[in-house]
Amino acid sequence: MFKRIISAGMCVITACVLAACGTGGTEPAPQGDRPAQVNIGTQQLPNDEMIAIIKGYYEEEMGVPVHVINFEAGDIRNAMMAGDIDFAMLGSSSAILGRANGMDVSLVWIHEIIGTSEQLVAHEDSDIRTMEDLRGRTVAAAFTSTAHYSLLNALELYGMEETELTILDMQQPDIIAAWDRGNLDAAYVWEPGVSRLLETGRTVITSEELAKEGILTANVEMVRNEFAAQYPEMVQAYIRAVDRACADFRADPDAAAALVGDYIGITAQEALVQMRGSVWLSAEEQLLPEYMGTTESPGAYADSVVDTADFLYSLNSLKEEPDDSYMRAFVDPRHVEAVLADE
């Protein structure tokens, strides 16, 4: 079975709905060694990237027009492969899947380590209160998602086999519908699904608890290596922007939640629950040994990348067994180091 340190993301992100942010009309001419425009692929999540988008930090730091593309239900990896976007925020399982399949990209920022915003919830009509109570029960999770990784790692942590219960592969809307019909005993979900299921359920274990055991889940930022090699200052500008956003949230969480909630169409309280349910990392914290580490001393996150790739291979999501050194090289702390060196 796979190792217990695992890194994934909220969901496997796919296809895009364009949402202009910054520029329109005729594309401007290149500005010296800067690109004419930077294209950022994102999802509507209440995190540091969303704050940076709303406050215009990317334009301020990059000094060029920025076009934000909101991905909701398609394939963000295909957009990266086609060169349609330069940066992409996605669950690290999806990012690692792309890297393992040969996508020429690097991970340059960890947006948040997921905590209580993702949980295993048992239905109130069941008598499930501990992990051991799952034996013989029906549990749902979206396969190859953060929830799936967390569930299977939790089973291993508690000395249980997958065959001791029935695990259904379901997307979150289907999980909620099946939950309401009474067809599930438990489900591992992310917000806002957590709050929805807790209306008629109870928490069995959270991703925060698993993180304390070294089972990390996260959302990450990847950049096309071709773009990063040509415009390293744009990558550093991206990092400065999200680092500012992280500082804003820490300084005034309520204001940040109100801002983001209004922008993405949820209440300030809903946004705050999700934002407080994760650990936000500053630029300095990105380089800690338990996360990205440094170029001279790679951190534990590289181990998580390898373990995640191995896990994807075990699920037949990869046709070829991933190379460890290739996967470790996915984590690139050089740009964060450059930003901090300039301060």
For 289-341, give the DSSP string: TTTTB-SSSB-HHHHHHHHHHHHHHHTTS-SSPPPHHHHHTTB--HHHHHHHH
Domain final residue, candidates 178, 211, 244: 211
Residue 103 falls within a domain, yes or no? yes
330 in the same domain as 243: yes
Residue 9 falls within a domain, yes or no? no
Say if residue 214's pLDDT is above 70. Answer: yes
Residue 8 falls within a domain, yes or no? no
CA Rg, the chain, in Å? Answer: 20
CA 309 to chain centre: 15
How far apart, in whole angstroms, are the C-alpha atoms of residue 76 and residue 12?
Answer: 9
In the sheet that holds 186-190, the strands lie side by side as 166-169, 138-141, 186-190, 118-123, 201-206
109 in the same domain as 231: yes
Residue 49 falls within a domain, yes or no? yes
191 in the same domain as 83: no
The pTM of the full predicted model, rounded to 2 decimals, is: 0.84
Residue 5 falls within a domain, yes or no? no
Mean pLDDT of 82-86: 94
Range of the domain at 126: 118-211
Q: How many CB atoms lie within 10 A of CB 129?
A: 11
- DSSP β-bridge partners for residue 284: none
134 in the same domain as 110: no
Q: What tens digit of pLDDT does each residue of 245-266 get?
A: 999 999 999 999 999 999 999 9
Q: What is the pLDDT of residue 24?
A: 37
Q: What is the pLDDT of residue 60?
A: 98
CATH number for the domain including 206? 3.40.190.10
Q: How many CB atoms lie within 10 A of CB 75?
A: 17
Number of domains in the chain: 2
DSSP state of 11: S
Tell me if residue 24 falls in helix, strand or coil: coil
